[in-house]
Structure 1
Amino acid sequence: MTEADTPDGTVLDTGRLRLRRFTPADLDHLVELDADPEVMRYLTNGRPTPATVVRDELLPRVLAEYDRTPGLGRWAAVSRADGDFLGWFALDPPPGDDPTEAELGYRLRRAAWGRGLATEGARALVRYAFDQLGLRRVRAETMAVNVRSRRVLERAGLRLVRTFHLTWDDPIPGTEHGEVEYEILRPE
């Protein structure tokens, strides 16, 4: 694993993944990812993110974040074997902007599911957060019913902290079971 932000935008390499900075050329990848109903199931009840939103809001925000919060951000995940776009991983500033913690996130294409890639990327970012960034805490949230994502978090070393309930204008199935927060602390 390499933990240096290189000239080509690579932030981390794992056995099978390369995490690199997004560029404007990744627009179509992001649109395709967010258009898959299964990928978006626990986020929007399967509704795609409009391409104009990805182009005009999401991608510009991701690109601006690299300068605003050095070391943190959202990175494209590509296969080291063939360079195929697989999805993304993130260490985002958490709500409240505590500089000693980050929020872990990921979203992978369906073709990448079930191969351990989410766990591989999540583990690498947890190590990066503690070893390179010196953070004290990494946290993550998902819907309580999102069993696959919960398993990834547990395999990456995070533990369940709490279940909580939010109010949504347009709740999706499973919302009634709440959201879950996971964490791992540096000493762990």
Structure 2
Amino acid sequence: MNIARTTRLSFRLMDENDAELLYELDNDPQVMKYLTRGKVSTMQTIKNTFIPRLNAFRNEQKGWGLWQVSVTDNNMFIGWVLVRPMGFFDKPDYSDLEIGSRFKRVSWGQGYASEAALSVALAVSQHPEVKTLSATALKDNLASISVMKKLGLKFIKEYLHQDEHGELPAVLYSCPKTELTSLKRN
């Protein structure tokens, strides 16, 4: 599967050869604030944990994985959009795709995350088995929640996200793919 370029962005499905880019992105405490409470990733974590997890759900035919996002004018890597079945590592729901993203600070506030997420979501939702698109974020992550709303996802529920440091309030947003496809690409 390929994701069509937008006016400003291009996309490529990432793989184990992208460890340096993943490390570069995860090495900013502000980027990691709502993911690891600001703890940056080491290259060892990228190679030994992150890449194997990515390889577990990556499926080029279905568009699952991390879609590298680059600015077309200068080919600068600015982040990625994640696609995988909801609950992939516990009880995967192949009819409900999770959309997530992570972007460099230099790209924040310019609409890149929304533009990229919409392009990726529209492409991967074309598979007939996909019925719903969903996203999660910590309740305080207002920027991610804004992207979810711009995709047309609606608030479903609050829940407690559990990580190695304890529990944090989180939110789930979702929408049927039929509502998503009514939105337009930039």
Alpha-carbon distance change, 12 to 56 in structure 1, aligned in 2, over 3 angstroms: farther
Q: How far is the alpha carbon of 1:61 from its aligned partner?
A: 3.5
Deviates more, 1:15-24 or 1:36-45: 15-24
Match of 2:103 among 108, 115, 136: 108
Give yes or no for the alignment of 1:54 onto 2:46. Answer: yes
Query: Equivalents in 1 of 2:25, 2:41: separation in Å?
Result: 9
TM-score, L = length of structure 2:
0.85
Q: Can you give the 5+ residue segments of structure 1 that lack an aligned partner in the other structure?
A: 6-10
Query: Equivalents in 2 of 1:24, 1:97: separation in Å?
Result: 23
Name the SS of the counterpart of 1:18 in structure 2: strand
Name the SS of the counterpart of 2:40 in structure 1: coil
Give yes or no for the alignment of 1:139 onto 2:134. Answer: yes
Name the SS of the counterpart of 1:45 in structure 2: coil
Q: 1:22–1:63: 8 Å Cα contact kept in structure 2?
A: no
Query: Equivalents in 2 of 1:167, 1:63: separation in Å?
Result: 23
| Structure (1 or 2) with the greater strand fraction | 2
Q: How far is the alpha carbon of 1:105 from its aligned partner?
A: 0.5
Query: Equivalents in 1 of 2:160, 2:58: separation in Å?
Result: 31
Q: 2:15–2:54: 8 Å Cα contact kept in structure 1?
A: no
2:184 corresponds in structure 1 to: none
Deviates more, 1:153-162 or 1:55-64: 55-64
Query: Equivalents in 1 of 2:53, 2:61: separation in Å?
Result: 12
| Structure (1 or 2) with the greater helix fraction | 1
Q: How far is the alpha carbon of 1:68 from its aligned partner?
A: 8.1
Give yes or no for the alignment of 1:150 onto 2:142. Answer: no
1:170 corresponds in structure 2 to: 165
1:119 corresponds in structure 2 to: 114
Residue correspondences, number: 175
Match of 1:159 among 154, 159, 165: 154
Query: Equivalents in 1 of 2:41, 2:34: separation in Å?
Result: 13
Please give the residue correspondences for 1:60-99 in structure 2 after superposition, counting only pairs within 5 Å.
Answer: 60-63=52-55, 65-67=57-59, 70-95=62-87, 96-99=91-94
Q: How far is the alpha carbon of 1:14 from its aligned partner?
A: 1.8
Which string of whole-angstrom CA distances, capped at 9 and with x for unpartnered residues, describes residues 33-82 of structure 1? Answer: 11100000001111011211102231243245334873211111111111
Name the SS of the counterpart of 1:121 in structure 2: helix
- Equivalent position amino acid for 1:182 in 2: Y
Query: Equivalents in 2 of 1:79, 1:17: separation in Å?
Result: 5
Q: Can you give the 5+ residue segments of structure 2 that lack an aligned partner in the other structure?
A: 180-186
Query: Equivalents in 1 of 2:63, 2:132: separation in Å?
Result: 15
1:8 corresponds in structure 2 to: none
Q: 1:17–1:80: 8 Å Cα contact kept in structure 2?
A: yes
- Equivalent position amino acid for 1:141 in 2: T
Q: How far is the alpha carbon of 1:24 from its aligned partner?
A: 4.0
Q: 2:13–2:60: 8 Å Cα contact kept in structure 1?
A: no
